[in-house]
Structure formats: structure tokens, C-alpha cells
């Protein structure tokens, strides 16, 4: 299993930020990263998420933009999750990678063309419309745990 960094990009909702952080902190993810944070999420959400991270002994990092996160963590694979993508996400995409950055959009309009050019864009299977970032992270975690389960059984 690769080292996975999750990023919530472009979020202004406190609730969306906290829900995402709570789920990510409960997974075996070392770093939870938030980029391009604004509005009330920047004022109140960061403080609440930081307190929660401290209590759970997790790392919570806030950076100005996606490029900063990519530069700092140097992933070998960058995946943006958007239901507007043509390619479908599968655990096999990251199975032989070492450092994977999974990026989720905090706004319904998704990623800009410039942001999409930073990595590969994949959609989740089954879903037709946009999926909130916390649900997307949950689905991907479930998909990845299925792969780990298969390895454990062989």
C-alpha cells in the first residue's frame, strides 16, 4: 500500500472541512492537507480541525495552493477526483506506487483546467453526478481496503 496524502482543495464550508478531516483522521492517513481555504472555513474551521488533529495525534496542514502541497510532499502520483472525468478510479492505478496524493474538490464546480493539469483526473465508479468530498474519500478508502483484504487472504 502506498503512502497516501489526502488534500481537500478550495473549501469555504466549516462543516465540509470538519467532516472531511474527521473521516481522514480515522483512516490510516498520515497527513491531511487543506489548500486554498477561504471564508468561514479559514476563520473557524481550521482552528477546530487543528484541535481535533492535535487530540488524535494526526498531522493537519494548511497551504495556500495545490502547487505548494505537490512541491512539499513530492508525490509520484497525483490524482484529482471529479465526476466530470473520463477515466474511472480503480485501486490498481495506485497499487505499485510509493507516494500518492489524492485531491478532492471542496466546491461543487470541481477543479479548474489549470488544477486538472497538475495530475490525472478520475471519477468514482457507479455515481452519475457530483459526490461530496467526504463521501468520495469514504468510497476510495473502501475500495482500497478491499484490495488490502484480497492481499491478506492470499
- CATH 3.40.1280.10 at 3-153, yes or no: yes
CA distance 94 to 50: 29
**What are 88-144's pLDDT values in tens digits?**
999 999 989 999 999 999 998 889 999 999 999 999 998 888 899 999 999 999 999
**What are 1-37's pLDDT values in tens digits?**
789 999 999 999 999 999 999 999 999 888 999 999 9
**Contact between 87 and 119 (Cβ < 8 Å):** no
**What are 26-73's pLDDT values in tens digits?**
998 889 999 999 998 998 999 999 999 999 999 999 999 999 999 999
Residue 132 CB neighbours (<10 A) = 16
Indicate the domain borders of the chain. Answer: 3-153
pLDDT at residue 28, as a whole number: 80
H or E segment at 49? Answer: helix 46-55
**What are 118-131's pLDDT values in tens digits?**
999 999 998 888 89
pLDDT at residue 149, as a whole number: 42
Angle between helices 14-26 and 133-153 (to 10 degrees): 10
Amino acid at each position: 500500500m502506498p503512502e497516501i496524502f489526502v488534500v481537500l482543495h478550495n473549501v469555504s464550508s466549516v462543516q465540509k472541512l470538519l467532516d472531511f478531516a474527521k473521516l481522514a483522521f480515522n483512516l490510516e492517513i498520515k497527513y491531511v492537507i487543506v489548500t486554498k481555504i477561504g471564508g468561514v472555513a479559514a476563520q473557524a474551521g481550521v482552528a477546530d480541525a487543528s484541535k481535533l488533529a492535535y487530540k488524535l495525534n494526526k498531522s493537519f496542514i494548511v497551504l495556500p495552493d495545490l502547487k505548494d502541497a505537490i512541491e512539499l510532499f513530492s508525490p509520484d502520483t497525483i490524482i484529482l477526483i471529479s465526476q466530470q472525468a473520463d477515466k474511472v478510479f480503480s485501486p490498481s492505478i495506485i497499487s505499485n506506487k510509493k507516494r500518492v496524493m489524492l485531491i478532492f474538490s471542496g466546491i461543487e464546480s470541481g477543479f479548474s483546467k489549470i488544477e486538472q493539469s497538475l495530475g490525472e483526473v478520475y471519477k468514482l465508479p457507479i455515481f452519475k453526478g457530483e459526490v461530496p468530498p467526504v463521501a468520495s474519500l469514504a468510497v476510495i478508502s473502501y475500495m482500497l481496503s478491499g484490495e488490502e483484504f484480497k492481499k491478506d487472504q492470499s
